[in-house]
Structure 1
Amino acid sequence: MEELDRLQQAMQLLHWKRPESVPFPSVQKRYVGRRPLKGAGGHSPPTYVIQEVPGDRQEEAIRLMADVFLREEPLTAAFRITDDPEPKSERLQRVVSVVRKFEALVQPDVFERFGVREYLSAVGLVVAHEHRGQGLGEQLLRARWQLGRSLGLRATATMFTGPASQLLARRAGFHTLAEARYVDQEQPAVRAITGASCMKIMAAALE
């Protein structure tokens, strides 16, 4: 439960107010996968609903982040966040420090570049193992266009830390604004990352 508690605390720090005119959750689109699910007994690809997480499934989503994302994301895996029982641990602070230093050194001015006062961002792109290979990662990123427009946001920007998410972002229409190689970072744990070469800030206009 420690990982779940940490993620819930992090989510409570977000202070953006949704326009009352935009319903929640908003169903963005239905998407037919690429192949039948293994062991499901069917012969047709599954149909997915790409939407914001409804209230009764938020804990399930946070658990997916804790059990899968934190173990696979390069930075949190490098510092073995899931092995640390403390919600505000030194390991977590090291991850935050790496991110902030990267942003301070190479963070492009997204506001000026896109001529906006606010933009849509996100933390943690993850798909459950049994649903991988269906194209869901790219669809989740593409959903930002419809969601952003409905919320009156005209740009989106996110830090992508792994090669798979960076590739998906590029396919979805994101462009790299800044990047930093892991081997150039101060923290030995970060320099030792071998499954990815760099972290990138990638952005797109929601037009």
Structure 2
Amino acid sequence: MLWERPAEIPFPTVWHEFQGPDVGDTDNLVSYRVEDLTPNRFDDIVEHFLDHFLTAEPEYVAKGVPGDELARREIVDFWRWCFARRLTLVCYKEASRTIIGGILLNVKMKEGQNARMVESEKLKGIFASNEYLTDTFDVFGNYGVSEYLTACGMAVHRNYHGTGICGEMLRAQIPICKALGLKVISTNFTGTETQAVAAKVGFRSDLEMSYDELAKLNPLFTFPRIASRSTKVMSLVIK
């Protein structure tokens, strides 16, 4: 069984609006909004993730996914699978349709189809190591829930790094959880900077494992010359 967005929740919805510095003019505050990704922007968000996620996310870079044709094709297929859940969010600046950021969301269920089958050994290593972490901590058991919101990737346009967009996109998940009746957000954060931003938003670290530890557990979990020291399962309880 796959999770489906309830029909009574309007689509698309603007989930979060905020003021933040403009790119190139940090003294000037402008308005931003985070809303549901609509089908007419699917190809655009794929290009955004190819440009600003695949070449920057530590695990994907370490595994060499950007230069592997099979892995690239399968990760794009996975992104499109995420789009079909109708939970992917996109960030726009006022009076603009230029994509500034995107976050791929999914509801993970204790009883349901959560895993994606892939042929690429590179992607198998990434997916399997992430599943190992969440299974080791047992998000369901520790928080007493049967489902929770999780992110499968986030990408902010490199020109907007340092403007706070990352943190605001994490905050945008809170009203979604409230609308869906979900009590927990839990995600594996692999980048040192995003781990720090998540902590500022209120996410707590449930489990941290160094990449050296992961490599000793399973050859699939080896990430050569990865830029990050460790990966963390981090969660936010919705109140």
TM-score range, shorter chain: 0.7 to 0.9
Distance 2:204 2:180 in 1: 22
Corresponding position: 1:37 with 2:23: yes
* Counterpart position of 1:20: 7
Which of 188, 198, 203 is residue 230 of structure 2 equivalent to? 198
**1:127 aligned residue:** 156
121, 126, 129: which one aligns with 1:98: 129
CA contact (8 A) 2:23 2:163 kept: no
CA distance in 1, matches of 2:23, 2:224: 38
Residue ranges of structure 1 left out of the alignment (5+ in a row):
1-13
Alpha-carbon shift at residue 46 of structure 1 (Å): 2.9
TM-score by length of 1: 0.82
Deviates more, 1:127-136 or 1:59-68: 59-68
Q: 1:81 to 1:134 in 2, by over 3 A?
A: same
Paired residue type of 1:51: E
Amino acid corresponding to residue 30 of structure 2 in structure 1: P
Give distance in 1, aligned partners of 2:149 and 2:189.
Answer: 14
- TM-score normalised over the length of structure 2: 0.72
Residues 116 and 83 (structure 1 numbering): CA distance in 2 closer, same or farther, change over 3 Å? same
Change (3 A) 1:191 1:78: closer
State the alpha-carbon separation in 1 of the partners of residues 45 and 180 from structure 2. 22
Mapped to 2, the partners of 1:84 and 1:77 lie a distance apart of 11
Matched residue count: 188
Q: Which has the higher helix share?
A: 1
Unpaired stretches in structure 2, ≥5 consecutive residues: 75-118
Tell me: CA distance 1:97–1:118, structure 2 relative to 1, closer, same or farther (3 Å): closer
